[in-house]
Structure 1
């Protein structure tokens, strides 16, 4: 696929979620985000508020990385993040509920956070796709759609099962159609992998090595679908 460096950058949530990240690290991330022209930065909620260059949104995470938090706690965390300047919230579902097919519970969990994230702010739902069967991926995506989410997202990047795959992104896109965004995150480290995710249906990419991905775009015309994931 033909895409410019600037166009690819606008798919990117430039991400720093390491537990050891410091405020100065986040400041450097924000400055680099402006230089690279990315869509947003994504940081831990305790790092908020954070100043970003003009045109760079602020995303954060909720119930991260396990998803094993009470829905009321996730909702409170999301509400505080919005109060502290977040434009987007990436929440983690209860992965076990999806594995066991308890999709009504998954939907209720997402709906609680949706109620705390007001209209005009974006809610992304992390389903940890590498830990799920295809059936569970479909069920979790349908639950996110029913609960009013704006995006479904593959991965936290912290689960031992791995991160994004082309196959999961394609299935997620087929499930939600054009009504929701799909974010590929976790293990996308090259321009080839990034382009493969976009070709499969990703409308956003979570990258921690953004500069390397963008630098690798030179000379890349098509993406190899085998490069996705961890």
Structure 2
């Protein structure tokens, strides 16, 4: 499928989650997100609140990041504080060890705890590259049961890797439009981003957003993009 540069930009969570990121870099991130027309910026909780002029750009953050091996109460408290500090969206990492141990009901419980702690958009990071296909399906079902708005492929920090077209297709087929699907991790060019959207992604997590968008083909109608 074909998508315009502007339409793809509006699907981007422009992301800065490096452990050594500075406040100055967050300011640059916000300015770039506005310039690119990105949907949101995604930053670590310690960078909240964002005091720069966001314009129409939303604010996303993470909780239980990046391992997911936090207690449900800890994740909920982190999400609640971030919401009070201005986060519109929270991307939480599930405890995948619970999933692999055959305890999806405990994954549902931690998602429900975070859901109760924030009234904003909740995305559930399942770390798809570390899961089997059956586990991906189970994780998506847990996210839906727990009240999430999105399922998300990856933190971008797991050694197993980031988003794949196969995982996005499977996640999209499982939630069937009832939840959004966010592809994140390793998306560094226009072709890969477009492939993720074609596979069913409705949001993209990108750190190199400008490079991806600059790869968009020029429009024959307007002489550019």
Shorter-chain-normalised TM-score: which range? over 0.9
Report 1:60-99 matches (<5 A): 60-99=61-100
Q: Is the CA contact (8 Å cut-off) linking 1:101 and 1:136 kept in structure 2?
A: no
Q: In structure 1, what is the equivalent of residue 60 of structure 2?
A: 59
Q: In structure 1, what is the equivalent of residue 162 of structure 2?
A: 163
Following TM superposition, by how much is the alpha carbon of 1:54 offset from its aligned partner in structure 2, in angstroms?
A: 1.1
Q: Deviations over 1:171-225 (max 9, x none)?
A: 00111111100000000001000000000000000000000000001259xxxxx
CA distance in 1, matches of 2:190, 2:157: 21
How many aligned positions are there?
A: 218
Q: In structure 2, what is the equivalent of residue 134 of structure 1?
A: 133
Q: Is the CA contact (8 Å cut-off) linking 1:40 and 1:58 kept in structure 2?
A: yes
> Could you list the runs of 4 or more consecutive aligned residues of structure 1 that deviate by over 3 angstroms after TM superposition?
none
Instruction: Report the TM-score, using the length of structure 1 for normalisation.
Output: 0.93
Q: In structure 1, what is the equivalent of residue 41 of structure 2?
A: 41
Q: Is the CA contact (8 Å cut-off) linking 1:99 and 1:133 kept in structure 2?
A: no
Following TM superposition, by how much is the alpha carbon of 1:52 offset from its aligned partner in structure 2, in angstroms?
A: 4.2
Q: Is the CA contact (8 Å cut-off) linking 2:188 and 2:212 kept in structure 1?
A: yes
CA distance in 1, matches of 2:146, 2:2: 35
* 1:150–1:52 Cα change, 3 Å: farther
Q: Is the CA contact (8 Å cut-off) linking 2:2 and 2:194 kept in structure 1?
A: no
Q: Deviations over 1:106-161 (max 9, x none)?
A: 1001000000011xx10000000000000000001000000110000000000000
Q: In structure 1, what is the equivalent of residue 13 of structure 2?
A: 13
Q: In structure 1, what is the equivalent of residue 103 of structure 2?
A: 102
